[in-house]
A and B are shown apart, each in its own frame.
Chain A
Amino acid sequence: MSNLLKTISTWLLALIIVAGSLLFFENDFLWKTQELNLFLTTPAFFSQQMVVPGGFLTYIGTFLTQFLAIPWLGVLMLCALWYLLMWLTRRTFCISYRWSVLMLIPVALILLTIVDMGYWVYLLKLRGHFFVTTLGVTSVVALLWAFRCLPSRFQLRAVFIVLVVLVGFPLLGIYALAAALLMGIWTWRLTTKGESTVNTFAAVLSLVAIPLLYYRFVYHETNLVNLYWAELPLFRVLNEHHIYYLPYYLLLLFFIAIAVCYQKDHLSLPLSQGEKTKKQPNRLPLGEIREGLRVGLLFLLIAYGVFHFWFKDENFHHELKMQRCIDRADWSGVMDEAARQQDEPTRAIVMMRNLALSRLGQQGSMMYQYRNGSKPAAAPFGISMMQLFGGTLFYYQYGLLNYCNRMCMEMGVEFDWRPEYIKYLAKCAILEGDQQVARKYLGILHHTLFFDDWARQMEPLVGNPQAIAQNAELEPITHMLHYENRLTSDQGLVEQFIMRQLAYSTDTSDPYFQEQALLASLWVKDSRAFWARFADYIQLHPGKDMPIHYQEAAYFFGSEEGRNLSNVPFDQRVKDSYASFTQVASKYDDQDISQVREALYPLFGNTFYYDFYLMSNLQPY
């Protein structure tokens, strides 16, 4: 096999593995990424991106990110760009085939900027981030190639450096600065000392002064503090999270290293020379084996590095899958995912699971069959995940449309407009009968490539209650629109707010809403609210079997309050279970709650009284 074929096969193998991993393990992440990525086919959208340095990169980045709606296509585009980057890097720095495996390093680092994001996916304000780093680094390498190809006369290279920053900064942001910096370094390997001095001076001066000039005279949407970081994601909430910049530092280091090593030793040889070397006949098989081992080892090291830093948190992935299922109104899919839960769930998972159970009509008999919990999200920043993605979802699904609307607006303002928010806004407007504003939101989505179809499907629902009543997603929500109006605030506690609104709702016009109120009374653990909702429930469901958890709650509260329950036809298993619970629980008086939880979970984890006593005061996160 020729060196060229070996290189191609190594690169392709790596890309196939990466593509397969992304498509197989991160399919829901890809879905979420494009749900949070808005690209509009309007001139105004282009203009809006161009008001910040690097806006063009954002524009192209958001354009490409939208193709993740067809995951294989988006990943194929990304891999094609990565192949281009590897090819460009090798050509630019004239790296011999035997070291071509090193070209996987920048790709691996860029891959890490994507797959180590985790919960940052909800929080990053850099639009098109999924492709921006790839596009930026590829542009840097392409500019470096052009720099190398320029003749050493008339100070052309110095002029080129200035032009790169002057033209590149508005288009590429920090990547233009990085290109200038690398040119300023690389020139010492390419040109004479005198020319190198001029080039380095031009580079330093350009990358310091030109952004400042742009700040002073052109850009009014960029703070001086962030000026030099344009087109880098900002991993800041309350504090800076430097660790996430590590791939970027390493990327710069990699290119500095190959620029410094250029033509200095065997690593970097002029291409033609390198190829000649490899065409020598009668090479010893031992050398081939050694080379193969070296390539294999480097390959494995890079693969291990990527695997190690890949964000693999179980709850994060469960949440994504459940969100995706809910988006498709696939409630069984949510429960299938719930069944795969190993770790303690986050509140969002518990809520999504309960929502699915309620849609399937099983919450009253099943909700304590699944593990309850409140594990904090594996995110380095102290922001409530429930608010970040749960606010819109749960307020919408529980019919608190004003709050969903509010949350979409707040998030849209904070993180820029995303298709997900606009879809929720459109659905809320349809359900509230606000036809004009519903058409506005759908009209915006008509200007996208991949949400246009969704908008067309929604359009017949505008001002058409009959069509809404036949829609699988919207119809259940119409049953939830029975809240009394209150002037209040959620204080950022989504779950508590919904449950409190529901638990004290007295409307009985819709059995589904009323049952949700009963379930919420179990959540708030308020016996007065429970008895009131329970009485309503009995009235609305005459002659029907009483779900087990309602029986447990009634038997528990009744026993605790000393009510006469002898005439109530409770299931014998409820009576036996509660009697057993009180007997066993008394042995654990004054013990640490977490130990008691663990001890009693196998016996009573699926009962209301276990939840009442042992799952109180869970952190909302």
Chain B
Amino acid sequence: MNTVRHSLLVVSKLSIFNFQFSTLLLAILLTIMSACTHVSVPTEYTQVDSLPKIYPDYVDVTIPVNMAPLTFMLDTPADAMVACYSMSAGSAGELTCSDDVQPSLSDWRQLLAAAQGHDLQVEVYARRGDRWTRYQPFAIHVSPDSIDPYISYRLISPSFVAYEVLTINQRCLENYDESVIYDNFLCSENSQGQCINCHNYQQYNPERMQFHARQKDGGTVIAYDGTLKRVNMRNDSILSAGVYPAWHPWLPFIVYSTDKTTQSFHTTNPNKIEVYDSESDLITYNVATDEVCNLENDTTEYEVFPCWAPDGKMLYYCSAHLALQDSTITKQVETLRRVEELKYNIYRKTFNPETFEFGPRELVFDASAIDSSALWPRVSPDGRFLMFTMTHFGYFPIWHHDADLWMIDLRADSVSSVSPMKALNSPDTESYHSWSSNGRWVIFSSRRDDGSFTRPFIAHIDAEGHASRPFELPMSRPDAHRLSMKSYNVPEFMRGPVTVTPQTFADVLKGEAVNVRYAGHK
């Protein structure tokens, strides 16, 4: 009511200009703007013992000091809501919002700057009819550890085979600005579509990136300090064009898995689909010379998901062992029949950055021994922790409801150093994850909201590897993810935005491709 009164007051003062339309617009604008600054906190209410049910769930989460405002809404029926942020419970509210809580950017930044290293107390009031209810306050912990300002991800509907509009987007984490890095429609023509995937950066550097385009104008786009090229990575001596990439931390050198990927569909299983390889290897690609080499191509091993240690001297990857037994059927059919036998372990190889030579493989984590499959190894920037996804079988955990995040302390040498990330996991899928450049944050994919649509969650990891309660990527409107039919795919941190325009990438894709040269086996 106070808000309305305030707005009316503004309107009456401005009416002397006798310009009713403008005044009305201004009044509406002020009313909206004042939603988080001039809302009065209810003085009469019923106190309840429970926490408010809000969406997204930001109760007890830890956020970086440079995070965009956390908007949320009450997830239970109510006629109105007031939320009050303060430095401590019961103190005067620094920031008060009504209904869908959408703090202004400037107010929020001031609040976080003041609360750095401390907690924000959030009091939520809900009105039903003419009665207000006050819930138990909850805390939002404001970490002084900042987060990389940008993330990028592919937006894709959780479809199975078809794709139409695919975009690789970037989002500023300090506000809500989102822009398109590349859109496949720039090259798609009617029935000749284009699939894009696997965006990847060298050490969070947006000027050194790559992504793949398949089918129409296909190839791998490499952006390297201002130069752009489309690389045709197909070669008779390697299994397929490069798929899952891993940039060396400083060398112009990328390791890819090469995969013969297939998908089949469950008739009734809630996982709905299995994506699996009938063959896979590892190759290296030299960005400077356009040479490719086979790195691992044992036909009984299914190597995938390479990942460099931050020191550039160790390459981690996953591999499953499956010796085909039935020569009367194709590899694809036999793999399909035995898909549940595909249990991926984590291996590593030493690498000499001066000679570009790799050492023999070494088992890091034997997931098959516990009847599981370990995937997506990612080493923390300090080199101490290796986070990975574990699921019952296979290598495509995003479609497995049992998939969880696990972590290995690489400094420890006992089995107990491998443990699930309980603070990060939910009853539903957790999958792709990526460390921030300072190693204090991870962003990961989760389907915990609804079991079908992947959303990025961010969590704080301290120096000892302890994780805080994660929070969902905040959006300018709290219900944005609920109304979106797209999933976030492969969220990656970046130190800044990609500045190459989508149209420029399209020009590169439509131009001549550079063919790779095969240079033997590493």
Cβ contact of B452, chosen from A217, A403, A434, A487, cutoff 8 A: A434
Assuming A44-B480, A413-B159, is B265 touching A488 (CB within 8 A)? yes
Inter-chain contact B274/A221, CB cutoff 8 Å? no
Inter-chain contact B269/A221, CB cutoff 8 Å? no
B8 at the A interface (CB under 8 A): no
A440 to B450, CA, bound (A): 8
Interface centre among A409, A412, A437, A487 (most CB of B within 10 A): A487
> A-facing mask of B329-354, CB < 8 A → 1, else 0?
00000001001000000000000000
Inter-chain contact A485/B483, CB cutoff 8 Å? no
B45 at the A interface (CB under 8 A): no
A401 to B452, CA, bound (A): 14
Inter-chain contact A434/B503, CB cutoff 8 Å? no
B190 at the A interface (CB under 8 A): yes
Residue numbers in B under 8 Å from A44 (CB-CB): 477, 480, 483-484
Residue numbers in A under 8 Å from B449 (CB-CB): 436, 440
B164 at the A interface (CB under 8 A): yes
A416 to B163, CA, bound (A): 10
Inter-chain contact A225/B189, CB cutoff 8 Å? yes
B522 at the A interface (CB under 8 A): no
B131 at the A interface (CB under 8 A): no
Assuming A236-B191, A413-B163, A434-B451, is B477 touching A485 (CB within 8 A)? no
Residue numbers in A under 8 Å from B16 (CB-CB): none
A222 at the B interface (CB under 8 A): yes
Inter-chain contact A489/B265, CB cutoff 8 Å? yes
Min CB distance A574 to B, Å, is 35
Inter-chain contact A234/B502, CB cutoff 8 Å? no
Min CB distance B170 to A, Å, is 13
> A-facing mask of B458-488, CB < 8 A → 1, else 0?
0000000000000000000101101111000
B180 at the A interface (CB under 8 A): yes
Interface size class of A (residues with CB under 8 A): 35 or more
A226 to B191, CA, bound (A): 13
Q: Which chain A residues in 388-418 approach chain B with CB under 8 Å?
A: 400-403, 405-406, 409-414, 416-417
Inter-chain contact A440/B482, CB cutoff 8 Å? yes
Residue numbers in A under 8 Å from B483 (CB-CB): 40, 42, 44, 443-444, 447
Residue numbers in B under 8 Å from A226 (CB-CB): 189
A237 at the B interface (CB under 8 A): yes
Inter-chain contact B185/A410, CB cutoff 8 Å? no
Assuming A216-B503, A484-B267, A489-B264, is B272 touching A405 (CB within 8 A)? yes
B270 at the A interface (CB under 8 A): yes
Residue numbers in B under 8 Å from A403 (CB-CB): 265, 267
Inter-chain contact B269/A222, CB cutoff 8 Å? no
> B-facing mask of A190-230, CB < 8 A → 1, else 0?
00000000000000000000000001110011110110000
B210 at the A interface (CB under 8 A): no
Inter-chain contact A223/B187, CB cutoff 8 Å? yes
A217 to B204, CA, bound (A): 26
B492 at the A interface (CB under 8 A): no
Inter-chain contact A410/B161, CB cutoff 8 Å? yes
Inter-chain contact A484/B159, CB cutoff 8 Å? no
Residue numbers in A under 8 Å from B450 (CB-CB): 434, 436-437, 439-440
A486 at the B interface (CB under 8 A): yes
Inter-chain contact A414/B162, CB cutoff 8 Å? yes
Nearest A residue (CB) for B272: A402
Inter-chain contact B265/A402, CB cutoff 8 Å? yes
Min CB distance A354 to B, Å, is 21
B72 at the A interface (CB under 8 A): no
B186 at the A interface (CB under 8 A): yes
Nearest A residue (CB) for B270: A432
B157 at the A interface (CB under 8 A): yes
B266 at the A interface (CB under 8 A): yes
Nearest A residue (CB) for B269: A485
Assuming A237-B191, A400-B267, A489-B264, is B451 touching A436 (CB within 8 A)? yes
Inter-chain contact B191/A484, CB cutoff 8 Å? no
B286 at the A interface (CB under 8 A): no
Inter-chain contact B267/A236, CB cutoff 8 Å? no
Interface centre among A40, A221, A234, A481 (most CB of B within 10 A): A221
Residue numbers in A under 8 Å from B163 (CB-CB): 413
A289 at the B interface (CB under 8 A): no
Residue numbers in B under 8 Å from A436 (CB-CB): 449-451
Residue numbers in A under 8 Å from B268 (CB-CB): 401-402, 481, 483-485
> A-facing mask of B499-518, CB < 8 A → 1, else 0?
00111000000000000000
Inter-chain contact B190/A236, CB cutoff 8 Å? yes
Inter-chain contact B267/A412, CB cutoff 8 Å? no
A387 to B99, CA, bound (A): 44
Nearest A residue (CB) for B504: A216
B188 at the A interface (CB under 8 A): yes
Q: Which chain B residues in 152-200 approach chain A with CB under 8 Å?
A: 157-165, 167, 180, 182-183, 185-191
Inter-chain contact B265/A406, CB cutoff 8 Å? yes
Residue numbers in A under 8 Å from B502 (CB-CB): 220
A488 to B158, CA, bound (A): 19
B453 at the A interface (CB under 8 A): yes
Cβ contact of B191, chosen from A223, A238, A412, A437, cutoff 8 A: A238
Inter-chain contact A409/B267, CB cutoff 8 Å? no
A481 to B183, CA, bound (A): 40
Residue numbers in A under 8 Å from B180 (CB-CB): 220
Inter-chain contact B503/A220, CB cutoff 8 Å? yes
Inter-chain contact A417/B485, CB cutoff 8 Å? yes
Interface centre among B268, B483, B501 (most CB of A within 10 A): B268
A40 to B485, CA, bound (A): 13
> A-facing mask of B431-453, CB < 8 A → 1, else 0?
00000000000000000011111
Assuming A40-B483, A220-B180, A402-B269, is B157 touching A409 (CB within 8 A)? yes
Residue numbers in B under 8 Å from A506 (CB-CB): none
A215 to B180, CA, bound (A): 14
Assuming A413-B159, A436-B449, is B266 touching A485 (CB within 8 A)? yes
Residue numbers in B under 8 Å from A400 (CB-CB): 267
Min CB distance A316 to B, Å, is 23
Assuming A400-B267, A483-B267, A487-B266, is B185 touching A220 (CB within 8 A)? yes
A40 to B479, CA, bound (A): 14
Min CB distance B507 to A, Å, is 10
A527 at the B interface (CB under 8 A): no
Cβ contact of B266, chosen from A413, A447, A486, A490, cutoff 8 A: A486
Assuming A402-B272, A417-B485, A434-B452, is B158 touching A223 (CB within 8 A)? no
Inter-chain contact B265/A443, CB cutoff 8 Å? no
Cβ contact of A220, chosen from B186, B267, B272, cutoff 8 A: B186
A403 to B264, CA, bound (A): 11
Min CB distance A373 to B, Å, is 28
Inter-chain contact B158/A409, CB cutoff 8 Å? yes
Inter-chain contact B503/A215, CB cutoff 8 Å? yes
Q: Which chain B residues in 262-287 approach chain A with CB under 8 Å?
A: 264-270, 272-274
Min CB distance B99 to A, Å, is 15
A10 at the B interface (CB under 8 A): no
Residue numbers in B under 8 Å from A487 (CB-CB): 264-266, 274, 336, 339
Inter-chain contact A234/B165, CB cutoff 8 Å? no
Cβ contact of B190, chosen from A217, A234, A411, A437, cutoff 8 A: A234
Q: Which chain B residues in 94-148 approach chain A with CB under 8 Å?
A: none
Assuming A485-B267, A486-B267, is B451 touching A443 (CB within 8 A)? no
Residue numbers in A under 8 Å from B182 (CB-CB): 220
Inter-chain contact B485/A412, CB cutoff 8 Å? yes
Q: Which chain A residues in 553-589 approach chain B with CB under 8 Å?
A: none
Inter-chain contact B272/A414, CB cutoff 8 Å? no
A606 at the B interface (CB under 8 A): no
12 pairs of residues in contact across A and B, judged by CB atoms under 8 Å? A220-B180, A221-B165, A221-B183, A223-B186, A225-B190, A234-B190, A409-B159, A413-B159, A432-B270, A436-B449, A486-B267, A488-B267
Going nearest first, the 10 A-B pairs with the smallest beta carbon separation are: A437-B450, A436-B450, A220-B502, A410-B162, A409-B159, A220-B183, A413-B159, A485-B268, A487-B264, A413-B162
Task: Name 11 extra pairs, CB < 8 A, besides A217-B503, A402-B266.
Answer: A220-B185, A223-B189, A234-B190, A401-B268, A402-B269, A403-B267, A434-B452, A436-B449, A487-B265, A487-B336, A489-B265
